[in-house]
């Protein structure tokens, strides 16, 4: 092979090498672009979730105020009117009915105030997360549908107020699932803070969920709540685990670094 054909041969080899290097570079650049895109997508999703949560909290706050200011007032007025009825002029039967009505309206006012409290996330700052959970459990206990125990070591847990709201809403979601879907008769709620990790555990003795089912895939409305919990855990940096077996109840544990 003479010099005159060596030069094109070298040029050809260089060209092939350049092309190969170009394609390898493209693969590297593409992987970087993919990672960057994925990160941006996650950040966007988080921001979207955060906004959803803020809108929801504002809506719940508005409902809480309406309940307290409007419904609560109307119920109080009804109680006052009933109390003003002259019982001396009534027959025994009617007097009993009026007294029962007064009791019912008194209970209604209590429930309205209780519900208003649990919808208003600003109360978390006043009562603390344990206080709010206790308040909700008492309200459920009064209904008699289910026996719920609350176990905690300390009522005062230092936690970021924003994270406390998230945790409280997640607890409400879990409670909602127990009442609506689990058919449980008993439940235990445990809340504890050890080594700067707040642990919330909820266990019930209900019908549980099938192993083969994806717990976070909405089926007949079942799974949307769990999906919400999972998403909220991601936002506040909490870890979340769920164990559920058919007819063996469900156990959910959330761990949040404080």
Partner 1 sequence: MQLLGHISPGVIITPGFFTYLLILSFGAVIGILCFNRLSKPFRTLTQMLCFIILVEILSKIFQNRWGTNFPIYHVSQIIQLVFFGRIFYLLLKRHQKTQIILVLSAVLCTVLSLLVTLFYQSIFTFPSIGSLLLSFYVSFSSVVLYYSMIKLPIKTPVLKQPKFWFGAGSLFFYTITFFILGFFKLVLELEGKMPEWCYFILHLANYILYSSYLIAIILAARTNHLNK
- Site residues (CB under 8 A) for partner 1? 4-5, 8-9, 11-12, 15-16, 19, 22-23, 26-27, 29-31, 33-34, 37-38
Q: By C-beta, is 20 or 185 nearer to partner 1? A: 20
Q: How far is the CB of 5 from partner 1 (least distance, A)?
A: 5
- 94 DSSP assignment: H
Q: Which is nearer to partner 1, 27 or 155 (CB)?
A: 27
Report the residue number, 5 or 196, with the smaller CB distance to partner 1. Answer: 5
Sheet of 250-257, strand order: 147-152, 186-194, 197-204, 250-257, 239-244
Q: Least distance from C-beta 7 to partner 1, angstroms?
A: 9
Q: Least Å distance between CB 46 and partner 1? A: 18
Per DSSP, the three-state class of 243 is: strand
Q: Which residue lies nearer to partner 1 by CB, 2 or 194?
A: 2
Comparing CA positions, the residue from 166, 245, 254 lying closest to residue 204 is 245
137, 214, 213, 138: which is closest to 178 by C-alpha?
Answer: 137
- Burial zone of 231 (CB within 10 Å; 0-12 exposed, 13-18 middle, 19+ buried): middle
Which runs of consecutive H residues, i.e. helices, occur in 69-192?
72-84, 92-119, 123-143, 161-177
**Smallest distance from the beta carbon of 10 to partner 1, in angstroms?**
11
Q: What kind and span of H or E run contains 200?
A: strand 197-204
- Residue 8 CB, nearest distance to partner 1 (Å)? 5
> How many CB atoms within 10 Å of residue 65?
13
Dihedral through CA 149, CA 155, CA 160, CA 162, nearest 10?
A: 50
The answer to whether 189 and 204 are in contact (CB under 8 A) is no
Nearer to partner 1, 23 or 84 (CB): 23
The closest of 96, 156, 78 to 124, measured between CA atoms, is: 156
- At closest approach, how far in Å is the CB of 45 from partner 1? 14
Q: Which is nearer to partner 1, 31 or 153 (CB)?
A: 31
Among 235, 204, 229, CA closest to 216: 229
Decide whether 5 or 220 has the Cβ nearer to partner 1: 5
- Nearest distance, CB of residue 11 and partner 1, angstroms: 7
DSSP state of 222: B
């Amino acid at each position: 092979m003479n010099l005159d054909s060596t030069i094109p041969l070298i040029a050809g080899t260089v060209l092939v090498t350049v092309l190969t290097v170009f394609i390898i570079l493209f693969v590297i650049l593409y992987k970087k672009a993919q990672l960057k895109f994925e990160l941006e997508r996650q950040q966007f999703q988080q921001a979207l979730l955060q906004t959803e949560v803020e809108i929801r909290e504002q809506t719940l706050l508005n409902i809480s105020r309406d309940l307290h200011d409007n419904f609560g007032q109307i119920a109080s007025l009804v109680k006052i009117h009933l109390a003003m009825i002259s019982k001396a002029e009534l027959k025994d039967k009617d007097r009993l009915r009026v007294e029962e009505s007064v009791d019912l309206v008194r209970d209604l006012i209590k429930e309205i105030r209780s519900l208003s409290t649990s919808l208003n996330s600003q109360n978390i700052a006043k009562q603390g997360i344990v206080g709010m959970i206790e308040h909700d459990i008492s309200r459920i206990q009064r209904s008699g549908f289910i026996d719920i125990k609350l176990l905690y070591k300390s009522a005062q847990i230092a936690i970021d107020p924003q994270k406390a709201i998230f945790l409280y809403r997640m607890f409400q979601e879990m409670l909602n699932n127990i009442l609506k879907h689990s058919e449980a008769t008993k439940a235990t709620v445990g809340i504890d803070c050890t080594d700067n990790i707040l642990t919330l555990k909820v266990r019930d003795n209900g019908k549980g969920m099938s192993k083969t089912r994806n717990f976070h895939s909405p089926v007949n409305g079942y799974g949307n709540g769990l999906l919400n919990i999972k998403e909220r855990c991601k936002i506040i940096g909490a870890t979340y685990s769920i164990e559920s077996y058919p007819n063996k109840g469900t156990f959910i544990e959330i761990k949040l670094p404080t």
